[in-house]
Amino acid sequence: MSYQAPLRDMQFVLYELLKCDEVLPALPGFEDASREIMDAIINEGARLTQNVIEPTNTPGDREGCHYDPQTKTVATPQGFKDAYKQFAEGGWTGMSAPVEFGGQGMPHLLNTVAEEMMCSANLSLGMYPGLTHGAVNALLGYGTNEQKDYYLPKLISGEWSGTMCLTEPQCGTDLGLIRTKAEPQADGSYAVSGTKIWITGGEHDLTDNIVHLVLAKLPDAPKGSKGISLFLVPKFLDDGSRNTAFCGGLEHKMGIKGSATCVMNFEEARGWLIGEPNKGLQAMFVMMNSARIMVGIQGLGIGEAAYQVSLSFAKDRLQSRSLSGPKEPEKAADPIIVHPDVRRMLLRQKATIEGCRALAYYTVMQLDISLHSEDAEARERADDMVQLLTPVVKAFLTDEGFFCANDGLQLMGGSGFTQDWPLEQFVRDARITRIYEGTNGIQALDLVGRKLGMNGGRSVKRFFAMLQRYMEENPGAPFVTEVKDASSKLQSATMWLMQQGMADGEQAGAAATPYLRLFALTAVAFFWSRMALLAQQQLEAGTTETDFYQAKIHSGQFFVSRILPQASSLLAEIESGKDNLMAMTEAQF
């Protein structure tokens, strides 16, 4: 079967749970973001991704990108150029970009919905405009007026694309070890020299120009991460000449084969400083924070696509009889959806995907509030939630997206393992999302090491207060008891980290990954309680969408009964401390 955008589920989260059609139009700049306008845009996005983008996914995976060592250029798979052209001409590359530079000025939340559909339809193709969003954000925050006026209109229109050039052969997360150099020139530009690896969209044939944002060090830079600057290095210069920034080859990857992942060689390439000298990490983190939420949405998108395929298979595939007696006696066997273990895998996908969608959309709506509200306190509260939840969204949604694809493949048995079905590609494509833009282990360290203690713990205190307020105001809501128990366990884990982790970094490091998962499970349980309460209210009001709302309650019940109980083991893992990890010597491994 082909991908179908889950429009009704999206609308439920947007309008019934988050009430974004009331919240967003009240923000300056979003006056036109009515439900009618947003629905029209989402419906058009569904049409584009279903009819234009999705048909390129499997062929693009089979063909991959092509590197020409003579010209040092890359050709994307057949069909990508036309699909990207339609995507750009439809204005999708500039959905949330400022109107003054040619964007549509719509909320980031609406752009996130479009990104989810794009990632379900073809993750590889979605990577190209996805990284451009980060480049736009970095230039908006740190570029000069001249840089903004020249580059932003082309990037926002999709005529040009952008990259992030961080990683080098000898360093990834520890960017203080980079060796790329930038030598000042008499005309105010810089000669950038060095090699960057794993550069998404570093070279391709979709756009007329590629704008590389490159981390490098000035000759007199301080050592370590305090000596990193950010430079803009275009593929083509403003006079049309070719800059000396070349692709040295493509990575041979497990998945996302339609995405050009390049080795980039900068050979005294002309570049221009973005922001202040030795302050490049600040600007790059603007790109990375945007990219981390985007990658979380990639996990959500792939999980949704995998669920749709495996659900269709489970309804059609005949195998054995129901354990409670034949359900379709006129057929040779029953469809496998009657079997409890098949339902376990389907419900695990459905319950986590819908819970993750609520968490992600909530986080992005807080981003819109933090950037546009006229109320300083509201901006602060919203920004606290964005900072706290960004690593959770990135790590948990990509973990679960991969698990959903894996469950879908397992459900389909041997069929899932073949190329006759897209599940094996979904598993391969989903795997990278847990690694790039900061591995999920790094996200956990960011949550524990930076986000919990920010502003004296203000963000996490506000998170717990939000849960507490909901439970006090809705004592009879579905799953409130389970949310209360999970919240208590998360608070215990947080206190343990405050007592143990602040004095011993290894204690914090040992607890980080289970803590992030415990945090995510608690947050998703909170949203499931809210969603089930809304469903219950609709059913009591006599809705005609009985199956839709009953399914919400059933899905939430599955989550709190079969997934949320992990909270107990996660707390035990956290409180077990570091010794069971660190006591062994290297020789004993």
Non-local CB neighbours of 186 within 8 Å, separated by 6+ positions: none
Show me where the domains of the chain are located: 452-584
* % residues pLDDT > 70 (the chain): 99
DSSP string, 60-97: HHHH--EEETTTTEEEPPTTHHHHHHHHHHTTGGGTTS
Residue-level pLDDT at 172 = 66
State the DSSP code for 392: H
Instruction: Band the pLDDT of 78: cuts 50, 70, 90.
Output: very high
Given a cut of 80, whether residue 493 has pLDDT beyond it is yes
Residue-level pLDDT at 286 = 76
State the DSSP code for 247: E
For residue 160, CA distances in Å to 95, 133, 326 come to: 15, 11, 59
Secondary structure, 3-state, 14-29: HHHHCCHHHHHHHCCC
Given a cut of 70, whether residue 473 has pLDDT beyond it is yes
Residue owning tokens 């989810």: 116
Please report, as a single letter, which amino acid is at residue 435: I
Please report, as a single letter, which amino acid is at residue 19: K
Non-local CB neighbours of 464 within 8 Å, separated by 6+ positions: 487, 490, 491
* Sign, CA torsion 235/273/386/577: positive
Q: How many CA atoms lie within 13 A of 23 on its CB side?
A: 22
Given a cut of 70, whether residue 477 has pLDDT beyond it is yes
Residue with more model confidence, 78 or 284: 78
558: tokens are 């599955």
Residue-level pLDDT at 290 = 78
285 and 224 in contact (C-beta within 8 Å)?
no
Global confidence as pTM: 0.96
SS3 at position 162: strand
State the DSSP code for 179: -
Residue owning tokens 């050009």: 260
362 and 113 in contact (C-beta within 8 Å)?
no
Given a cut of 80, whether residue 463 has pLDDT beyond it is yes
118: tokens are 């794009």
Please report, as a single letter, which amino acid is at residue 373: S
Over the stretch 3-32, which tens digit does the pLDDT of each residue have? 999 999 999 999 999 999 999 999 999 999
Short-list 361, 399, 403, 388, CA closest to 116:
361
What count of residues does the chain have? 589
289: tokens are 């924070």
Residue owning tokens 């007026």: 145
For residue 5, CA distances in Å to 11, 59, 429 come to: 11, 20, 19
Residues linked to residue 192 through DSSP beta bridges, in sequence order: 182, 269
Given a cut of 70, whether residue 36 has pLDDT beyond it is yes
Short-list 137, 130, 132, CA closest to 116:
130
Over the stretch 367-413, which tens digit does the pLDDT of each residue have? 999 999 999 999 999 999 999 999 999 999 999 999 999 999 999 99
Over the stretch 385-396, which tens digit does the pLDDT of each residue have? 999 999 999 999
3-state SS of the chain: helix, strand, coil percent to 5?
A: 60, 10, 25
Given 437, 472, 473, 575, which residue is catalytic?
437
Mean pLDDT, residues 354-366: 98
Short-list 361, 369, 370, 381, CA closest to 462:
381
Task: Assess whether 437 carries a catalytic annotation.
Answer: yes
Instruction: Band the pLDDT of 73: cuts 50, 70, 90.
Output: very high
Classify the phi-psi angles of 278: left when phi > 0, otherwise alpha if psi is within -120 to 50, otherwise beta.
left
Over the stretch 511-556, which tens digit does the pLDDT of each residue have? 999 999 999 999 999 999 999 999 999 999 999 999 999 999 999 9
Mean pLDDT, residues 337-354: 98
Non-local CB neighbours of 335 within 8 Å, separated by 6+ positions: 314, 315, 316, 317, 318, 319, 327, 328
Cα dihedral 105→107→112→118 (10° resolution): -30
- What 27-32 contacts at long range (C-beta under 8 Å, 24+ apart), as own/partner pairs, is 27/107, 27/368, 27/369, 27/372, 27/373, 27/374, 28/372, 28/374, 29/105, 29/372, 30/105, 30/106, 30/107, 30/368, 30/372
